[in-house]
A and B are shown apart, each in its own frame.
Chain A
Amino acid sequence: EDQVTQSPEALRLQEGESSSLNCSYTVSGLRGLFWYRQDPGKGPEFLFTLYSAGEEKEKERLKATLTKKESFLHITAPKPEDSATYLCAVRLNASNMLTFGGGTRLMVKP
């Protein structure tokens, strides 16, 4: 069965304290791995798509990487406004749906 697992479930950081969020997946035929940010009461906001092992993408303080079994979202020198839930999702070959992990709730304190 296809599975997407995110860890940790929650993460508290001090402003400026860099860290990484993990998304591990067990799927057959990965077509793409997506990262989203979700603020309370809002829909997920697209961040990145990764396609193949070794690929990396960056946006401001965020950098996403992909291996054959997991993806990491690295947050460098986070700010309080980076506080949100970060979701990863996979899209499989021959499917149009995204399968999401449970998310990591990030809290950055000033």
Chain B
Amino acid sequence: DTGVSQDPRHKITKRGQNVTFRCDPISEHNRLYWYRQTLGQGPEFLTYFQNEAQLEKSRLLSDRFSAERPKGSFSTLEIQRTEQGDSAMYLCASSGGGSGYGYTFGSGTRLTVV
């Protein structure tokens, strides 16, 4: 297992376009998280899945954002009608449950909205 994979690594898009990111968690992990990180800040929680169920969503997750995890495997995060304020690093993490285990993060997708 090579850890948490995210695709693409970088995305440049024009304002108003839709973008979709993919996350492949560690295969035996049933919990998956999306975070957003802007320069010089810590990651901010967006949403959490346990298997295929989306159990927590942040107030940050406006109605332009949607996330799915079909069949409890990979996940996608879609941003519709992108705005310049959406420019950030989008991080995915997974965990196998149990509070003691650190969540394993992917390398992120850096989004630039021009």
The answer to whether the Cβ of B102 comes within 8 Å of any Cβ in the partner chain is: yes
Write the nearest CB–CB distance from B37 to chain A, whole angstroms. 8
Q: Which residues of B sit under 8 angstroms from A99, Cβ to Cβ?
A: 45
The answer to whether the Cβ of B2 comes within 8 Å of any Cβ in the partner chain is: no
Q: Which residues of B sit under 8 angstroms from A32, Cβ to Cβ?
A: 99-100
The answer to whether the Cβ of A91 comes within 8 Å of any Cβ in the partner chain is: yes
Judging by beta carbons under 8 Å apart, are B42 and A45 in contact? Answer: no
Q: Which residues of B sit under 8 angstroms from A97, Cβ to Cβ?
A: 33, 45, 48, 56, 58
Minimal Cβ-Cβ distance residue in B for A93? B99
Q: Which of B31-52 contact A (CB under 8 A)?
A: 31, 33, 40-45, 48, 50
Minimal Cβ-Cβ distance residue in A for B105? A43
Question: Interface stretch among A12-20, A76-84, A100-108?
Answer: A100-108
The answer to whether the Cβ of A98 comes within 8 Å of any Cβ in the partner chain is: yes
Write the nearest CB–CB distance from B21 to chain A, whole angstroms. 13
Partner of B105, one of A45, A91, A101, A103: A45
Q: Which residues of A sit under 8 angstroms from B102, Cβ to Cβ?
A: 34, 36, 46-49
Write the nearest CB–CB distance from A35 to chain B, whole angstroms. 9
Q: Which of A32, A34, A98 has the most CB of B within 10 A?
A: A98
Given contacts A49-B99, A96-B31, A96-B56, contact A43 B91 (CB under 8 A): yes
The answer to whether the Cβ of B76 comes within 8 Å of any Cβ in the partner chain is: no
What's the Cα separation between A4 and B44 when bound, in Å? 12
Q: Which of B80-114 contact A (CB under 8 A)?
A: 91, 93, 99-108, 110
Partner of B99, one of A6, A36, A42, A91: A91
Name 9 extra pairs, CB < 8 A, besides A43-B108, A95-B56.
A36-B102, A42-B108, A46-B103, A47-B102, A91-B99, A96-B33, A97-B45, A102-B41, A103-B42
